Amino acid sequence: MATVPENAPTHCPGTESEDAGKASACQGCPNQKTCSVLPKGPDPAIAEISAKFTTIKHKIIVLSGKGGVGKSTFTAHLAHGLAADEEQQVAVLDVDICGPSMPRIFGVEGEQVHNSGSGWSPVYVTDNLAVMSVGFLLSSPDDAVIWRGPKKNGLIKQFLRDVDWGEVDYLVIDTPPGTSDEHLSVVQYLSEANVDGAVIITTPQEISLLDVRKEISFCRKVGLPLIGIVENMSGFVCPKCKTESQIFPPTTGGGEKLSQDTNIPLLGKLPLDPRIGKCCDEGKSYLTEVPDSPATKVFVQIISKIKEHCAKLRSQQESDTGERMDTA
């Protein structure tokens, strides 16, 4: 997939094309001269990252076209749930460059990233749960990251290529809202790394579903497999009486209708519980703090479905590899 520069014309051929800087669409583009002299062909980092990721069994990307739907909260608790099995090594990569929230959610805010001969060492939340985020590279949690696309892309490449994860069973990648630089970079650099797929997060109301449909379209255009949809904030559960109320009514059918329309599995409907937000603020796992809540039960069911999907996919990949070897 060709990389398209920031502020590129509508019919930009991309930096990897032989027509880069020479096509009619390039006339008048501020990047024309740069593109014409750049080396053509795939970014060598793609092969480097693919080789690096051979030690990571499963790669899951958490996406949503809409902000504020709970991607980071879901990512963190997916990781907590996977890491509940102490035999599994789990890692989280936060590529929300401008709004890195993982250090706070995991309770490791203020930790430092160390560099060694084997690369950057991630920050460990527990013995089998590691996290990497630009938040660890800022001098203060209040610092704003004011970067244009190329610098964001460069940091994402560095995270994917230079972080020393070691042997990992699951890598969960948290992304910002939208379908722009960060998403394109992740998909491009992991194009040869056998990504298991994306989990799409939405809330029930149509204003969220509008943007989520765009995210699904993005995934299909770039060839990113889809694991399923999670409807977050699907009703409100009172912590005292356990009564559930609809805070965001699904006026057009919510995640269930979206699942039917797009033929993507609905993994589950997570109810809204104020204790989830409290646990994130305090850097704790809601799954262990409130193990008997309705939301925890749904979380566990969703995590089980994701693990089952990944296991089936890996089994199929190993079977295909075996068949190719037999044929050779």
Mean pLDDT of the chain: 88
Whether 28 is in a domain gets the answer: no
What local confidence, expressed as pLDDT, does residue 38 receive?
57
What local confidence, expressed as pLDDT, does residue 149 receive?
77
CB contact at 8 A, 157 and 189: yes
Q: Is the predicted pLDDT of residue 79 greater than 90, yes or no?
A: yes
What local confidence, expressed as pLDDT, does residue 179 receive?
84
Q: What is the mean pLDDT of residues 27-51?
A: 75
Whether 15 is in a domain gets the answer: no
Q: Is the predicted pLDDT of residue 281 greater than 90, yes or no?
A: yes
**Per-residue pLDDT tens over the stretch 191-249:** 999 999 999 999 999 999 999 999 999 999 999 999 999 999 998 877 777 777 888 88
Tell me if residue 126 falls in helix, strand or coil: strand
Whether 51 is in a domain gets the answer: yes
The residue among 156, 208, 172 whose CA lies nearest residue 76 is: 172
Whether 296 is in a domain gets the answer: yes
Tell me if residue 271 falls in helix, strand or coil: coil
Residue 27: band (very low, low, confident or very high) from pLDDT cuts 50, 70, 90? confident
Whether 307 is in a domain gets the answer: yes
Q: Supply the pTM of this predicted model.
A: 0.86
Helix axis angle, 71-83 to 274-281, nearest 10°: 80
What local confidence, expressed as pLDDT, does residue 1 receive?
47
The parent domain of residue 61 ranges over: 44-327
**Per-residue pLDDT tens over the stretch 118-138:** 889 999 999 999 999 999 998
Q: Is the predicted pLDDT of residue 155 greater than 80, yes or no?
A: yes
The domain tally of the chain equals 1
Q: Is the predicted pLDDT of residue 32 greater than 90, yes or no?
A: no
Residue 156: band (very low, low, confident or very high) from pLDDT cuts 50, 70, 90? very high
Whether 249 is in a domain gets the answer: yes
Residue 317: band (very low, low, confident or very high) from pLDDT cuts 50, 70, 90? confident
CATH of the domain at 61: 3.40.50.300
Q: Is the predicted pLDDT of residue 325 greater than 70, yes or no?
A: no
Whether 21 is in a domain gets the answer: no
